[in-house]
Structure 1
């Protein structure tokens, strides 16, 4: 099985502790490499919701 790719797109600008590029919090970004596959999926799901809240959709690359 392949690992889940880091969602960073190099924007790295924060609005209320949430990156407007990937939707993750600073804590989630720092912990990314230590998370297991299920935890990463959960973070990505939350990140997508945050991007919707910030009206920043379309910044993350779609598969």
Structure 2
């Protein structure tokens, strides 16, 4: 397993209030990323992925007229 956790940033920063809708991280998580230890980064990546999945699901529902 790689020692470093890859940054989830996709270089399409689109902050919607406190959340980047591109990578799923909060402003605070983005700000603290470089100083986070490996376990914190792993947890952040997991939370961000779940947020992006929820955002995609929500936008898919809106696109279907729901």
* Equivalent residue pairs, number: 56
Structure 1 gap segments, 5+ residues each:
57-63
| Higher relative contact order, chain-length normalized (CA < 8 Å, sep 6+) | 1
Write out the 4+ residue segments of structure 1 that deviate beyond 3 Å after TM superposition: none
CA offsets, 1:18-47, max 9 Å, x none?
111111001000000000000000001100
TM-score (norm 1): 0.78
Structure with bigger gyration radius? 2
Structure 2 gap segments, 5+ residues each:
58-66
The SS at the match of 2:23 is: coil
TM-score (norm 2): 0.75
Which residue in 1 is equivalent to 2:62?
A: none
